[in-house]
Amino acid sequence: MKVAVVGATGLVGKKMLQVLDEQKFPLTHLLPVASEKSLGKKISFSGKDIQVISLEQAVEEKPTLAIFSAGASVSLMWASKFAQVGCKVIDNSSAWRMEPHIKLVVPEVNADVLTKDDYIIANPNCSTIQMVVALNPLHQKYCIKRIVVSTYQSVTGTGKKGVDQLTNERAGNHHFDKVYPHPIDLNLIPQIDVFLDNGYTKEEMKMINETRKILQVNDLRITATTVRVPVCGGHSESINVSFERAFDINEVRDILEQAPGVKVIDNPVEKLYPMPLDAAEKDDVFVGRIRRDESQDNTLNLWVVSDNLRKGAATNAVQIAQYLLHKKLL
């Protein structure tokens, strides 16, 4: 089994290689793919140094599977070329997510939508992934009516340039390429991606539209505010969710504790709740601060944290690949 990782030298690409290795994914040949400036470089995988190749070379190799994390423009241009040689593509960019014929998949939620005919599969946005993993088991029981979500998103969500800006600012270095419109150290920026005509940012609308598609509720009432914070790894979300049906708070806890991919950390007496430091290098979605909204009927407050490079990107993609393998769809 040949597996190509497109964008292998980026933050998410490196994490994908790490997760593939950790999970002992049964590949026989790894094809690390990157832009021209990285060609000929070597990356380390499973104790071996492997040379980075071009997209053209990777297509010629006719891999079984390609995992893309090189941006939407690359995915739009190249995913179909890989699919045409019989390669299954799992794409981590926004390129294909809202295409009606492309499946948008979080394995714990909707892997069963996948078939042998799906050659391009979209990986959702990192902030969407952790939210639907936490909310789907509750949706199945109580039926979600409305979601209000505010995010606290790490600079790693912007890639190496985001990390570099925070690091440089913290060190007092002012000579660097800025990726944010304002300082991020000792600051919060209530803008992720560009603003749209409706006043929302692109990131906020991604969360709204992707959640509707994954949960298959096209008219779901949902609103989002996404914020970049000076944290180097791990996204956090404050979620207020209203249900059609009444719930018992203890039953809510039981459902979450038994939900796949979820780990509950919720003990106010001991000051235990999820934090980005808890989520680092873990694949779980951590849930805490579970409490009833006393101002609104059938409404719940949750605090949800996850490693955005792992479950929010690399791990989710590898889990999709594992599902395809298990169901003999590869």
Question: What's the mean pLDDT when you consider all of the chain?
Answer: 97
Q: Are 177 and 161 in contact (CB under 8 A)?
A: yes
* pLDDT of amino acid 303: 99
Flag whether pLDDT at 316 surpasses 90: yes
The pLDDT tens digits for 67-111 are 999 999 999 999 999 999 999 999 999 999 999 999 999 999 999
pTM recorded for the entire structure: 0.97
Cβ count near 32 (within 10 Å): 26
**Tell me, what's the pLDDT at 80?**
98
pLDDT digits (tens, 9 = 90+) for 170-219: 999 989 999 999 999 999 999 999 999 999 999 999 999 999 999 999 99
Q: Which is the catalytic residue, given 101, 182, 232, 235? A: 235
Active site residue 326: no
φ and ψ of 133, to 5 deg: -60, -40
In the set 126, 139, 175, 232, the catalytic residue is 126
Kindly tell me if the per-residue pLDDT of 52 is higher than 90: yes
> Domain segments of the chain: what residues?
2-124+313-326, 127-308
Q: How many CB atoms lie within 10 A of CB 147?
A: 22
pLDDT of residue 124: 98
Contacts with 1 (C-beta within 8 Å, 6 or more apart), sequence order: 26, 27, 28, 29, 64, 65, 330
Using the predicted structure, report yes or no on whether residue 247 has a pLDDT greater than 90: yes
pLDDT beyond 90 at 113: yes
Tokens of residue 280, six digits = 């680092």
Q: Which of 78, 55, 25, 9 is nearest to 320 (CA)?
A: 25
The CA–CA distances, whole Å, from 263 to 7, 214, 255 equal: 30, 21, 11
Distance CA 294, CA 311 (A): 32
What CATH superfamily is the domain 127-308?
Dihydrodipicolinate Reductase; domain 2 (3.30.360.10)
CA-based end-to-end distance of the chain: 10
- Specify the pLDDT at position 21: 97
Is 143 an active-site residue? no
Of the pLDDT bands very low, low, confident and very high (cuts 50, 70, 90), residue 39 is very high
Q: Thinking of the domain 2-124+313-326, which architecture would CATH place it in?
A: 3-Layer(aba) Sandwich (3.40)
Q: Cβ contacts of residue 140 below 8 Å, gap of 6+?
A: none
For the chain, give the percent of residues with pLDDT over 70.
100
Span 116-140, pLDDT tens digits:
999 999 999 999 999 999 999 999 9
The pLDDT assigned to 40 comes to 86
Assign residue 71 a region (left: φ > 0; alpha: ψ between -120 and 50; beta: otherwise): left
Per-residue confidence (pLDDT) for residue 84, from 0 to 100 = 98
The proportion of the chain whose per-residue pLDDT surpasses 90, expressed as a percent, equals: 99
Q: What amino acid is encoded at 150 in this protein? A: S
Q: Tell how strand 235-243 and strand 221-228 pair up.
A: unpaired
